[in-house]
Amino acid sequence: MTALPQDFVSMMRSLLGDEAEAFFGSLDTTAPVSVRRNPNKLGIGSTVMDLPSNTLVPWCPLGTYLVERPSFTHDPVFHAGGYYVQEASSMFLWQLHPLLGAAPIRALDLCASPGGKSTLLTNILPEGSVLVSNEVIHHRANILAENMTKWGYPAGIVSEADPDKLKSVGELFDFILVDAPCSGEGMFRKDDAARTEWSLQNVELCVRRQQRILSAAWEMLQPGGLLVYSTCTFNTQENEDNLAFLLDTFDATPVALDVPTEWQIAPQLKGDAPAYRFFPHKVKGEGFFFCVVRKAGEPHTPKPLKSKGKKPAEKEIPHGIKCFVHHPERYEWRWMSDDYVHALTPDVHDLAERLRSAGVRMHTAGITVGMQKGKDLVPAPALALSLEMDDHSFSDIEFSRDEALTYLARQSVTTMPDLPLGFVLATFRRRPLGFLKNLGTRANNLYPQDWRIRHLESAEDCTAAIN
């Protein structure tokens, strides 16, 4: 690999002292591979299907280290949202669980793509909570929307906005995660390009960007709310100094977590405020910095959203579409700009309206259910992956692994003479993948073009690793 930048070496020797050489040595070792299962699709006590694993991630009961890296692209369970490939240190977010309480909250993951921490948040937020996952870069927001859709959380919104635009919604959120864009020193072991792109000037640029993002986040945080700040970098300018910026600039109080010493998670390197550092020579994971602060004051109810004149009459929602989800009476039903009918809980609907009024683009909101096309009620691809789909509404066909991969590559599938005509749910090991339309003589593959496996020809060489 490319040699480490000399300025970085000097900085880390100053910070770590006698541990520096062990730290540098760890950056030239192979990075561990870890995944986090979706308890709503795999079960909290199950292993991650057939993936060869050996140990659990200590700070996250859903996380597992793998013996080797298989081809995740060629595992249908991955596409079904059964698990997420996530770096182990990042799973430390699970430790927030005791701080979030039991009542539903409004949460924001401000820099969310590709979705690792957002999908984890859905498993620790109190039941009934709404999660907004935001990303400012368009193509990354598309990736985020795909990953959140596959995870299946029914009370989520994926938005695309700069924090300075998003903050116009005001103090709406009880919890905000700022996993900030950073200089990426924690990626030095995995990504050779991260070493060549690093510089002290880039660190300074990142600090200014991070403080701008934190300032915007603070304007959206409810009094009494929690803010988490994290990075995948080692220097104190982007970490402890930004924690000090929060404490000195705003009415913020640091919050300590109960972290067992045997996890080998290092404390802060500067100042007295509690923070948590992951170094690859100490833990089985990559570089990571994590801290929590609370905003002073008592939470308040956001002001009602002001109506902007008379709303145009909406098309009637076809009753049959409402039968596609469990308990349709719990939802607000709306046609959205993507021409699909969406089912939104009252809290999701209110938050989506506030974002829309602020001019914030939304990729997804609530459950994308279906559309009317001629006489057909066409189920949305996202519906198949939602935890709230009423699967009794559809006949299903169970695919073998090879058949599932063919379907996920959006190739032609075999006809289904024994199944009724119309829309059929494709499954693998009883986990939904998407829909087909059975025409009798042939079947149309309705898997989204943008999600398809693009290099199926290499699957044969890779499935042995996950069988």
Query: Per the annotation, where are the binding residues for S-adenosyl-L-methionine?
Result: 135, 162, 179
Residues with Cβ within 8 Å of residue 162, at least 6 apart in sequence:
136
Q: What are the φ and ψ backbone dihedral angles of 238, each rounded to 5 degrees? A: -85, -10
Give the annotated binding-site residues.
135, 162, 179
Q: What are the φ and ψ backbone dihedral angles of 371, each rounded to 5 degrees? A: -140, 165
**Per-residue DSSP letter, 31:** P
Residues with Cβ within 8 Å of residue 221, at least 6 apart in sequence:
171, 173, 174, 176, 227, 295
Q: List, in sequence order, every residue forming a beta bridge with 64; answer none if it has no partner.
A: 35, 56
Q: What are the φ and ψ backbone dihedral angles of 448, each rounded to 5 degrees? A: -60, 135
| Torsion, Cα of 304, 309, 313, 318 (10° steps) | -20
* Nearest partner of 55 among 35, 38, 69, 73, judged by Cα: 35
Q: Is the dihedral of CA 99, 102, 106, 109 positive or negative?
A: positive
Write out the two tokens for 465.
């690793």
* Nearest partner of 266 among 236, 242, 244, judged by Cα: 236
What does the alpha-carbon distance between residue 408 and residue 426 come to, in Å, rounded to a whole number?
A: 10
Q: What are the φ and ψ backbone dihedral angles of 51, each rounded to 5 degrees? A: -65, 135
Side by side, the strands of the sheet bearing 83-85 are 53-56, 63-66, 33-37, 83-85
| Torsion, Cα of 38, 41, 43, 49 (10° steps) | -80
Q: List, in sequence order, every residue forming a beta bridge with 134; answer none if it has no partner.
A: 159
H-assigned helices in 39-128: 76-79, 116-122
Annotated catalytic residue within 232, 291, 323, 462: 232
Beta strands in 69-168 (DSSP E): 83-85, 106-109, 130-134, 156-160
Length of the chain: 467
Beta strands in 346-410 (DSSP E): 361-365, 367-373, 376-379, 395-398
232 noted as active-site residue: yes
Longest dimension (CA), the chain: 73
The residues that are catalytic are 232
